[in-house]
Structure 1
Amino acid sequence: MTIRTADLFSIANSGIRSSNTLLRTTGHNISNVNTEGFVRERTNFVSQLTGGVGQGTTERVINQFAQNQLRRDTTRLGEAEAFFQRISQLDNILASEANSISGSLSRFFSALQTSIDEPGNVAARELVLGQAGSNLERMSSLSAYMNQTETDLNQELGNITTEANDLIKNISELNTQIRDVQSNNRNEEPGVLKNERDMAIQQLAEIVSIETRQQDDGTTLVNLTAGQSLVLEAGVFNVFQVSGDPDITRKSLQLQSSNTPALINVAETELGGKMGGLFSFRDEVLAPAQRELGQLALGFADAMNEQNRLGMDYDGQLGVDIFNLPSVQALNYADNSSANLAINGRIQEGQAENLTTSDYKITIDAVTAGAPDTVDITVELLNADGTPSLDTDGNPITYSDTGLEATPGSWVPILDGLELEFPDGATYAAGDEFLLQPTRYTASQVNLDIVRGEDLAFASPIKAQGDIDNLGGAQVVSTSVTNTTVDNTFADSGASGFNGSGGIHGPGAAPGGGVGAPAEIVFTASDSYQVLDSAGTVITEVTNAPDLKNLLAQGESIGAGPAWPGAFSALDNYPGYDISLEGVPKAGDSFSISFNTNGVDDNRNGLELAGLQDVNTIRRNVSTGFSDQNGATFHGAYADTVSSVGEKAATADIEFKAAQAMEQQSSDWFQSVSGVSLDEEASNLIRFQQAYAASARVLGTAQTLFDTILGAVR
């Protein structure tokens, strides 16, 4: 049996004191009902063995599970919102008809078709150039928008990084204050400080995905969900640093401790929150779209250039490039032997169909000084997010080559239609690394290279026709031109049979100095023929020809007595033209082949230019080489980009709305436990007021009894 030794006065006094404390706590809750981040408080008392109310303890009313769930859902909402806001803007731009590259391509090819229907109309040719310039302007405008989006994104990442660092520092400082206050007052929780700290943690959770751990001293440690520590014990904390190597515009994250210079790399894919959403948009949407647009611009320009070079223009000259394609300087890594080293890259003429959207990391393996200097290299293909590009077996795609000439002005081909210039010779050092991004910004760097509509090469530079005295039924079906490179010295292995002076090589001017370029086909039977030069000298003779297609190619492969000249075959593609017939020729029938002098009204090459609209010329997948199956048309490639962004935007919209619902649900759960209910507090206020009044009555009774006793004594 407990014996209470406290007097009635002490019991009443403790009751008044406790009721006053309860009223103070209730009043504090009511006054902070609209204070952001406030967690309602509760004061608990225990009774004393000797009688009356003992020491009270004031603490916050909080459900740790509800709080952690709210933080997780806040992180998810921050990530989904940041991603959706950015991608929806890009999706609207790409889907807009006013900005559609597909529309500008259609207008260009429509103008081209109109012009080749009347190849002698100079005004129609000028309209083609106008539409070509408009198409480039549309690509450049869209590229500029993406580039500005990237700049804005980097600015926002910088601002968010600063905000996150301020929050991390604030949390650490609040932890120190909480530890000090709580150690000096065990009976009252420092609620104001903890509310401020928890609100800072909540704001940090909106920026990055975090996990927390409560300590016995009242402090809270904070880690990234990926494991790296942000707020540690004893006031130590890590802050984010934003950097980019070698690409200073592609920001990456590191952590640096407040008490050591050590740096810790952070994987952007595991960040979550606003910061993770921005990185995801950059790596999954913006960067691929930039490169796909650049690939389209280069593929379109190179294909048009290649075909125009195979034609003859309004002035009777061999065709030239319509567009100027840029060269790109590779980025120099910070750890290279010198910051002034450079490697330049560009697309080989006619090879843009092999180009991918990958970036190319070039490593110098060895350097050999000499005449000329040479380098050995390894090339790694990287996706837009910096991860390795993989082949069909899931292995990183790499390329190695040795003995590449390293002199200014010397371009050496590598893979994917690229060629490199190593202008610094023996200055390179083994281990130097460079990052080449051939498609990232090039959509805005392609320009028109001609200013006259007359320079559009709509005509074919070759014409072929049967002799008027032919007795057979064979007719010229087509001529084909595959090479118009002019080099009468044949130092260039790509030289063609065109002499650049409005003709083809005659005897003595062709490779080998003997017979001239093919200029006539004379049949000796319906399936046999001779190939002659312009002087009538037999170059080769074909017997038992399987068909009448590509007669010159057959002459090279099966011609005999004499055989096709070895000097011709030693070149890559000589003479660069061919002829096909259909029907049945008779012995003695002849067909002449000559330069298409005065062929102003010819539109054969123009038809080939217009036909590029329907040809697969843009490589789709880096894992396999270019082919018709792994290729897309200009319209198809742009449609793929628009479709990809549109699908991701639709998914982002759904995820954003789901994240909003989840965050609202967890917020309601947290508020139901830790939020202030005015109804509940009003009820408590009445109850505590009554308890205070009752204790006061007890105190009054004690006073009366005391006075009665004193009176009796007197």
Structure 2
Amino acid sequence: MGISRILDISKRSLLTYQNALDVTAHNIANASNPDYSRQRVILSATTPENNAGFYWGSGVTLSSINRMTNDLIVRQLDSYTSKLSYSDKQAELLGQIEQVFSEPSDQGLSALINQFFNSWQSLSVNPSSIPLRNDVLNSAKSLSLKIQDINSNLDLIKSSISSEFRDKVNQINSLLQDIKNLNIQISSVTNSGQSPNDLLDQRDKSINELSKLVDINVIYNNNNSAMISIGGILAVDSNFTVTFDTSLQNGKLNLITTDGKSPIITNGELSALADLYNKNIAGYQNDIDTIANQIVSSVNSLHSTAYSIENPPQTGINFFDGYIDGKLEINPNILSDVRKIAVSSDGTSGNGDIAKTISELADKKLIDGFTLSEKFSTLVNKIGSDKQTMDNLSTSNKLVLDQLQNQKDSVSGVSVDEEMTNVLKFQRAYDASAKLIKIADDLFQTLLDMV
């Protein structure tokens, strides 16, 4: 019986250390995989046997393969991933918006507003001058084109945001389905008493990808299944997934479920896109609309009281037709005949009083205690401030995220040097077990030779 025990112990030891080498090789193979968590074998003595009044050791077994991870750090990583994704996406798009306004610049809106009113000042000196009247018209055209260009580019960015939003929603639905499938597999393996380490890594990766898109809340049940909520709505577990869709109603871009529920999202790329569309750009365009409408009403209220240089002089003429669909529309009659530009207060050709009064609009506090140029400068400064805020927030979030990643790597990362040490240790134990089998075989042979 003693020799057979040696064989049993040696055989069990060979299998154990072979499995330990397999795990170590798996670690080394995934040393450069950022989504892999190091696995550690736990060796323990097998249950001893009671024989002849003694408890005899029966060898070694691989009792478990532990996944080296810190759940708290992983959840913090997901949280700051959402925050960083939000600030990065906002900073990226705000940079594009800054380029739309091209300020400060000779061709920026602020400069064109000043050129427009300066042209009226020049015309007031020589009201009958056709070239100066053409200057007024051309400066008005340049101003109109610039406002139209700003609105068109902002609408283009909004269209791009809307399209990207839909793509992100599709990604969310795909990730939720992946997580559900992994939940099912993980629960099955867990219920069988095994450790689904690689499946857990895959699910953590999917959850982290999801956290880049939206802020999430994750809870694990007894079967190791992840239950994830998005904006207060349970989105996935082992049994079902919610399907999300895009809503664009009343000019607002939102995330909704197929049954009409609206999760409240505050971080992640999706929230950044929605906030830019619904708040930032809407606010910027509202300020542009306010400036343009004020130009129309202020200039028309004066221009309509003045007289043209036609024969006979005409009055009651609006310089602008209005501000329509983001475009400053100039009176088509003035476009075809600059003599209809009205600047005389009494109908005489040499009078330019109204032109002078229009030029003085540039210095009047027409909007919320600001001049037109000051109001626009405030808008440009706000865009720059919003961009700087997001840049600073990204820097701060990136710093925290890097620190958390370093902490995760210290726990879950693979050290090739450490694993090679384990290879040598397990290899020697394997070699020793093989020698025990050889010794047991020699003992058997000795006994046989004695028969």
TM-score, normalised with respect to structure 1: 0.59
Q: Residues of 2 paired with 1:686 and 1:99: CA distance?
A: 72
Q: Residues of 2 paired with 1:6 and 1:151: CA distance?
A: 78
Q: Residues of 1 paired with 2:443 and 2:129: CA distance?
A: 124
Q: CA deviation at 1:649?
A: 1.0
Q: CA deviation at 1:693?
A: 1.1
- Cα distance per residue 1:202-227 (max 9 Å; x no partner): 10011111121122212211112x42
Look up the SS of the partner of 1:325 in the other structure: strand
Residue 351 of structure 2, aligned match among 602, 624, 628: 602
Q: Residues of 1 paired with 2:243 and 2:416: CA distance?
A: 40
Q: CA deviation at 1:92?
A: 3.2
Name the counterpart of 1:513.
Answer: none
Q: CA deviation at 1:36?
A: 4.4
Residue 230 of structure 1, aligned match among 228, 231, 235: 235
Q: Following superposition, which runs of at least 4 residues in structure 1 exceed 4 angstroms of deviation?
A: none
Residue 322 of structure 1, aligned match among 319, 324, 335: 319
Residue 397 of structure 2, aligned match among 650, 659, 669: 659
Q: CA deviation at 1:179?
A: 1.8
Contact 2:232 2:263 in 1 (8 A): no
1:235 partner letter: N
Change (3 A) 1:255 1:145: same
Matched, 1:68 2:113: no
Name the counterpart of 1:616.
Answer: 365
Name the counterpart of 1:443.
Answer: 326
Matched, 1:199 2:201: no
1:229 partner letter: L
CA RMSD of aligned residues (A): 1.9
Matched, 1:706 2:444: yes
Deviates more, 1:40-49 or 1:303-312: 40-49
Residue 369 of structure 2, aligned match among 613, 627, 631: 631
> Which has the greater radius of gyration?
1
Higher strand share: 1
Instruction: Please list, as runs of the form range in 1=range in 2, the aligned pairs for 1:102-501 lying within 5 A after superposition.
Output: 102-184=110-192, 186-187=193-194, 189-224=195-230, 226-232=231-237, 234-247=238-251, 250-256=252-258, 262-267=259-264, 270-315=265-310, 316-326=313-323, 442-444=325-327, 446-449=329-332, 450-451=334-335, 452-461=337-346
Residue 14 of structure 1, aligned match among 12, 23, 33: 12
Q: Residues of 2 paired with 1:208 and 1:685: CA distance?
A: 42
Contact 1:254 1:263 in 2 (8 A): yes
Contact 2:292 2:323 in 1 (8 A): no
Residue 691 of structure 1, aligned match among 405, 429, 445: 429
Contact 1:459 1:605 in 2 (8 A): yes
Contact 1:173 1:235 in 2 (8 A): no
Q: CA deviation at 1:680?
A: 1.1
Name the counterpart of 2:47.
Answer: 49
1:284 partner letter: K
Contact 1:32 1:38 in 2 (8 A): yes
Deviates more, 1:649-658 or 1:90-99: 90-99
Q: CA deviation at 1:640?
A: 1.2
Q: Residues of 1 paired with 2:329 and 2:433: CA distance?
A: 89
Q: CA deviation at 1:172?
A: 0.7
Q: CA deviation at 1:607?
A: 1.4
Q: Residues of 2 paired with 1:237 and 1:659: CA distance?
A: 30
Contact 2:134 2:338 in 1 (8 A): yes
Look up the SS of the partner of 1:632 in the other structure: coil
Q: CA deviation at 1:239?
A: 2.3
Q: Residues of 1 paired with 2:263 and 2:224: CA distance?
A: 28
Look up the SS of the partner of 1:263 in the other structure: coil
Q: Residues of 1 paired with 2:331 and 2:176: CA distance?
A: 52
Change (3 A) 1:36 1:98: farther
- Cα distance per residue 1:425-477 (max 9 Å; x no partner): xxxxxxxxxxxxxxxxx43253444222211211113xxxxxxxxxxxxxxxx
Look up the SS of the partner of 2:326 in the other structure: helix
Change (3 A) 1:77 1:647: same
Q: CA deviation at 1:49?
A: 2.5
Q: CA deviation at 1:191?
A: 2.4
Change (3 A) 1:14 1:98: farther
- Cα distance per residue 1:251-304 (max 9 Å; x no partner): 211124xxxxx332123xx33111112222223321100111111111111211
TM-score, normalised with respect to structure 2: 0.92
Q: Residues of 1 paired with 2:30 and 2:14: CA distance?
A: 24
Q: CA deviation at 1:90?
A: 1.2
Q: CA deviation at 1:88?
A: 1.5
Number of residues of Structure 1 aligned to a counterpart in Structure 2: 436
Name the counterpart of 2:409.
Answer: 671
Change (3 A) 1:8 1:29: same
2:188 partner letter: D
Q: Unpaired segments of 5 or more residues in structure 2?
A: 49-57
Name the counterpart of 1:499.
Answer: none
Instruction: Please list, as runs of the form range in 1=range in 2, the aligned pairs for 1:549-564 lying within 5 A after superposition.
Output: none
Change (3 A) 1:600 1:26: same
Q: Residues of 1 paired with 2:91 and 2:4: CA distance?
A: 68
Identity across the alignment (%): 22
Contact 2:296 2:323 in 1 (8 A): no
Instruction: Please list, as runs of the form range in 1=range in 2, the aligned pairs for 1:645-656 lying within 5 A after superposition.
Output: 645-656=383-394
Q: CA deviation at 1:611?
A: 1.0
Instruction: Please list, as runs of the form range in 1=range in 2, the aligned pairs for 1:89-108 lying within 5 A after superposition.
Output: 89-94=96-101, 95-97=103-105, 99-108=107-116
Contact 2:37 2:67 in 1 (8 A): yes
